[in-house]
Each structure stands twice: as structure tokens, then as C-alpha cells.
Amino acid sequence: MAKYLSKEWADEVIQTLNADDAVKGAIQGVELCIQQVVTDVPDEGEAKYWTKFSGGEVSGGLGEAADDDVTISQNYETAVAMAKGDLNAQAAFMQGKLKVTGNMGKLLQHQGAMGALGPALAKVKTEF
């Protein structure tokens, strides 16, 4: 079981997304890079990771993306609730718990791809 926001967790997320048939189908033709910023992380303060969809593949890692289209910021409590499936991104955004900067239109254009991620990410065994 990987600790949330660790390198092991990030590697498992990418591996899981690339192995999931629903994600593979949903990201065909999608060119999008998302930077995630999680604040109030216990013992760390802030954590950053990124996910990129390009050429039908998913890549990503910890740290800052070189070419992000959009940045999504949330505190640790919100990030954990979303990772566990207790809160979806749309609800978090509407409640002001999630902030999006950058190319919002491009993000909205690829909602189908974004929607496929949740069920796949639920397969990643995570220690919070």
C-alpha cells in the first residue's frame, strides 16, 4: 500500500491509469497536462504532482510540470476526500474547495477523460 502523495503512489497511479481499458478509451486524442497542488499536507506543507495525457498514454510524477495547461489547487482534506471517492471534483469546485487556473476551457473539453479517472484511481491501494 502506497502512502498518498509519495513517489511510490505517483508511480502506481500512472501504471494503473495506463493499464485501465476505460481510461485508454477515454484519453484517445486528448492532449492535456494537469498540475495538482495540495496544501496543508501533514509534515510537508505543500505537495505538487502532475498528470499528462498525450498520444493515448498517461505520464506524470511528483513536482512541477514543464508544460501544464491547467493547475488545480486544493487542501489536503479535500484532496483525500476526492481520492477516496467521497467528493467529486465538480462538487468540490462548486463548494469553493477546489481552485482551477489556466485553460479552463481545455479542461472542460476533456470532461469525459477526467470522468474515467475516478474508477481507475479507486483501484490504487493508498495509505492516507
Domains, the chain, ordered by start:
2-115 (3.30.1050.10)
CA distance 37 to 109: 21
Are the beta carbons of 67 and 78 closer than 8 angstroms?
Answer: no
DSSP state at residue 56: T
CA distance 105 to 53: 16
Are the beta carbons of 46 and 39 closer than 8 angstroms?
Answer: yes
The string of pLDDT tens digits covering residues 88-97 is: 888 999 999 9
Tell me the pLDDT of the chain averaged across its residues: 95
Determine how many CB atoms are found less than 10 A away from the CB of residue 61: 16
Are the beta carbons of 51 and 96 closer than 8 angstroms?
Answer: no
The string of pLDDT tens digits covering residues 2-46 is: 999 999 999 999 999 999 999 999 999 999 999 999 999 999 999
* Rounded mean pLDDT, 60-87: 96
Can you tell me whether residue 54 is helix, strand or coil? strand
Q: Please return the burial class of 115, using the count of CB atoms within 10 Å of its CB with bins 0-12, 13-18 and 19+.
A: middle
* Confidence at residue 122, expressed as pLDDT on a 0 to 100 scale: 86
Half-sphere exposure (CA, 13 Å, Cβ side) for 95?
Answer: 10
99 pLDDT higher than 90: yes
CA distance 4 to 12: 11
* Confidence at residue 85, expressed as pLDDT on a 0 to 100 scale: 86
60: cell is: 506524470
pTM for this model (two decimals): 0.94
